């Protein structure tokens, strides 16, 4: 396997199905509908000063590994976060929404995107952008600002260079991800008062407790609360073929 494919698989992709070795967008979501790749995009226009607040903040404030930085091939930047263990889409999008509220709350929400999204809407990097004809690519932090006027490449980036950039990155461990969610979530005064004495308010939650917290938190956007409620509904598990 090529070095770039090895690094993309290590950081972002689910195990290949039926022994297949394909490295493509279909592996951004696993057979259970969960993902290890959380992508925050900012576009229309690209704004490195803004997206760098997120890149720096998750490291300094949340003590998480640095996400990969990418130019999308059209009009924006992306941050690619890698999780050691996959999570449901509602939890992935809740994390990205909380990052938006913490670091990008002064920007129009329409400029910000979360991925993985609907099938076919998320492309691996590097890739040729269907509309612009330009290429997306991972870039280093010290060169990211250079692409503010044109966040794309005319030619496909070198695979070895892309692999080198990804090889320096680490995945977010489950406990650290849960702790980051707790730090990001706004705490209502009433909820704080209800915590029993001696119980750590910042203790990591299991997925069901997290989803119930999202559903019942009036400070969380309504769309995320609805998705959390749907995720808690009983029902048959997806058929595993």
pLDDT bucket at 192, cuts 50 / 70 / 90:
very low
Asked whether the predicted pLDDT for residue 196 surpasses 90, the reply is no
Asked whether the predicted pLDDT for residue 173 surpasses 60, the reply is yes
Asked whether the predicted pLDDT for residue 194 surpasses 60, the reply is no
CATH number of 3-167: 3.30.70.3300
pLDDT above 70 covers a percentage of the chain that reads 79
Q: Residue 146: what are its φ and ψ, rounded to 5°?
A: -60, -25
Alpha helices for 110-158 (secondary structure H): 141-144
Query: pLDDT digit string (tens) for 202-234?
Result: 444 556 677 777 777 766 666 677 767 666 665
Query: pLDDT digit string (tens) for 36-83?
Result: 999 999 999 999 999 999 999 999 999 999 999 999 999 999 999 999
In 3D space, the residue among 62, 90, 67 whose CA is nearest the CA of residue 78 turns out to be 67
First CA to last CA across the chain, in angstroms?
A: 26
In the block, which residue shows the tokens 């997925």? 207
Total-model pTM:
0.79
Asked whether the predicted pLDDT for residue 8 surpasses 80, the reply is yes
Kindly tell me the sign of the dihedral angle through the C-alpha atoms of 219, 221, 223, 224. Answer: negative
Q: Where are the domains of the chain?
A: 3-167, 174-232
Higher-pLDDT residue of 59 and 187 is 59
Write down the mean pLDDT value for the chain: 85
- Cβ–Cβ contacts within 10 Å for residue 173, how many? 14
In 3D space, the residue among 232, 176, 239, 167 whose CA is nearest the CA of residue 204 turns out to be 176
What is the per-residue pLDDT for 214?
74
Asked whether the predicted pLDDT for residue 91 surpasses 90, the reply is yes
What is the per-residue pLDDT for 239?
44
Contacts of 74 (CB under 8 A, 6+ apart): 43, 129, 131, 132, 134, 151, 152
Asked whether the predicted pLDDT for residue 34 surpasses 50, the reply is yes
């Amino acid at each position: 396997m090529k070095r770039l494919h090895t690094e993309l698989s290590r950081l972002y992709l689910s195990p290949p199905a039926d022994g297949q070795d394909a490295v493509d967008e279909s592996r951004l979501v696993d057979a259970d509908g969960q993902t290890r790749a959380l992508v925050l995009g900012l576009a229309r226009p690209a704004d490195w000063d803004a997206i760098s607040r997120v890149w720096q903040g998750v490291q300094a404030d949340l003590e998480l590994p640095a996400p990969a930085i990418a130019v999308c091939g059209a009009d924006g930047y992306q941050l690619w976060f890698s999780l050691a263990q996959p999570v449901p889409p509602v939890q992935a999008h809740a994390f990205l929404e909380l990052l938006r509220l913490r670091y990008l709350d002064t920007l129009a929400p329409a400029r910000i995107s979360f991925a993985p999204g609907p099938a076919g809407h998320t492309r691996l990097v590097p890739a040729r952008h269907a509309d612009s004809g330009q290429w997306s690519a991972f870039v280093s932090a010290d060169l990211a600002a250079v692409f503010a006027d044109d966040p794309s490449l005319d030619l496909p980036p070198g695979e070895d260079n892309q692999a080198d950039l990804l090889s320096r990155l680490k995945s977010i461990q489950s406990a650290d991800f849960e702790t980051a969610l707790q730090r990001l979530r706004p705490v209502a005064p009433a909820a704080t008062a209800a915590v029993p004495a001696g119980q750590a308010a910042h203790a990591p939650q299991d997925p069901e407790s997290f989803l119930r917290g999202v559903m019942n938190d009036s400070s969380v956007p309504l769309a995320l609360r609805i998705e959390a409620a749907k995720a808690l509904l009983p029902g048959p598990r997806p058929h595993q073929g």
